[in-house]
Structure 1
């Protein structure tokens, strides 16, 4: 936390960090993210957690819902938009536990979820994270 900060960062702060991370992406990534919706919620919904087999909502910091870029076709028109969900309370909990900066943590989660959008491997996501770093 910054000096004098007495309240946990709110959803607007998390979103600002996420959008700043997206703005730093190379153009070949950024041009495919225009229609992706960014949602900041305190926790994942219970049905999402159950579907993923997660009992503790603090264990899920982010989620990508939608189809990877290479899997899209005209057959998918009319479907829900691709979304990156960031779960504020889980992020804040990890932030406190790990001691990394909030910016670094949110950036890591955002890039991981963007990686799912592009169908990237963990290795590719790590390289993208270093690029944005």
Structure 2
């Protein structure tokens, strides 16, 4: 397990987002990416996992594929990135960097309406 300070972790999240293809980022609107130490009980329930399971990230919002014509004037969707859980499965800062990128991509997949099974098929599970 590798641990880094919050400032460094935040920098790695910014780098991960900046490394995404511009054509993908151009389609992402009204989404905040936040860093949290660990998921809450509510987050675990939303993700359908137990208290001892690791959760690396969580998309909170309405996927693009489920938005109707009345979708407007809403608070931003949110992608939570859970620092302690990512650190728990990584041995080095480079592994943390790569896991953050995979987690951001995975959660953006949910934003675009892609479910976990399909993300797994795409190698983003």
TM category (shorter chain) comes to 0.7 to 0.9
Once residues 91 and 15 of structure 1 are traced to their aligned partners in structure 2, the CA distance between those partners, rounded to angstroms, is 13
CA gap 1:53/1:104 in 2 versus in 1, 3 angstroms: closer
Q: In structure 2, what is the equivalent of residue 54 of structure 1?
A: 50
Q: What is the aligned partner in structure 2 of residue 102 from structure 1?
A: 96
Higher helix share: 1
**Pick from 112, 115, 121: which aligns with 1:118?**
112
Runs of 4+ in 1 over 6 A off after TM superposition: none
| Secondary structure at the counterpart of residue 33 of structure 1 | coil
Greater mean alpha carbon deviation, residues 65-74 or residues 107-116: 65-74
Q: What corresponds to 1:91 in structure 2?
A: 86
Residue aligned with 2:8, SS = helix
Whole-angstrom CA distance in 2 between matches of 1:21 and 1:53: 26
List aligned pairs for 1:36-51, cutoff 5 A: 36-51=31-46
Q: Deviations over 1:101-123 (max 9, x none)?
A: 11111111111111111123313
Output the aligned Cα RMSD: 2.6
- The structure-2 alpha-carbon separation of the partners of 1:25 and 1:53, relative to structure 1 and needing over 3 Å to count, comes to closer
Instruction: Please say which structure displays the higher CA radius of gyration.
Output: 1
Matched, 1:15 2:6: no
Partner residue of 2:63 out of 62, 68, 77: 68
User: Could you say what secondary structure the match of 2:28 adopts?
Assistant: coil
Q: How many residues align?
A: 119
